Amino acid sequence: MAHAAADREHQIAGDWNSVPDLSLRDHRFTVPLDYSAPSGTVFAREVVAVGKEEQQLPYLLFLQGGPGFESPRPTEASGWLKRTCEEYRVVFLDQRGTGLSTPLTIQEPGHVRSFGGFCAATYLSFAPEGLKSVLLTGGLPPIGKGCTADVVYKACFEQVVHQNEKYYKRFPQDVKVICDRVTYLAKAEGGGAPRPSGGILTPKGLQTLGLAGLGSGGGFERLHYMFERVWDPELVPGTGKRINYYFLKAVNT
């Protein structure tokens, strides 16, 4: 009982609020950064179907994958979340250094190394009796003899090449568009094009567009539609190509 009381002292629960067909409640847990004193915060959002706020439901903890993104922010009951909330309380956890959770160390955004699949596998290796089941949709760490990080990355690179080939097969007209775009950025003053939110879009930055685009439903189409608007129309002959503002804005998002 003493431990339970101490846990409640270091937890702050917000009021229920709602999005279409879902009720949400924020939780902030005060936790130690060095275990000498509680000084950090871990943020989690509890989600249930409307009307089930007080029902005794099992918990399903969602751990976001890499590279270092915060947990999803629900906007409505749809897809897997709608189905899951029929039977569970879903907890979206911002892992250390993401979203509203305090990082372990001072670091640049996106340099977090605490990914969902790795966290789940680590928990299973230490305390499997504490979990009823674990679902891994990706991010499985190297397991077994001979399965090193180099082997995993090699397989990842092969998949990246495969996805690029699929994209260009579907939209062959984009080959020239993207090649011209890379050449333009490489030759541009400063090594790229200024982005509306600050910083420079470089050729390497352009390659990162495939991070979500080549690995998600509808991603191929979204990328293609972005590249449709790469260039401003050349209204005055001889003035040369200029990057479309709306393309740069889309890159920012």
Find residue 12's DSSP bridge partners: 28
Query: Residue 70 contacts by C-beta under 8 Å, 6 or more apart in sequence?
Result: 64, 94, 98, 99, 100
pTM: 0.59
Positive/negative CA dihedral, 32, 65, 224, 209: positive
What residue type is assigned to position 218 of the chain? Answer: G
For residues 65 and 8, which has the higher predicted lDDT (pLDDT)?
65
Q: What percent of the chain has pLDDT over 90?
A: 37
What pLDDT score was predicted for residue 72? 92
Task: Say whether 131 sits in a helix, a strand or coil.
Answer: coil
Distance of CA 163 to the CA centre of its chain: 19
Mean per-residue pLDDT over the chain, rounded: 83
Q: What percent of the chain has pLDDT over 70?
A: 85
What pLDDT score was predicted for residue 112? 45
What pLDDT score was predicted for residue 191? 86
For residues 140 and 227, which has the higher predicted lDDT (pLDDT)?
227
What does the pLDDT look like over 180-218, one tens digit per residue?
A: 989 999 998 888 888 887 888 899 988 888 876 787 778
Q: Is the pLDDT of residue 171 over 70?
A: yes
Q: Is the pLDDT of residue 51 over 80?
A: yes
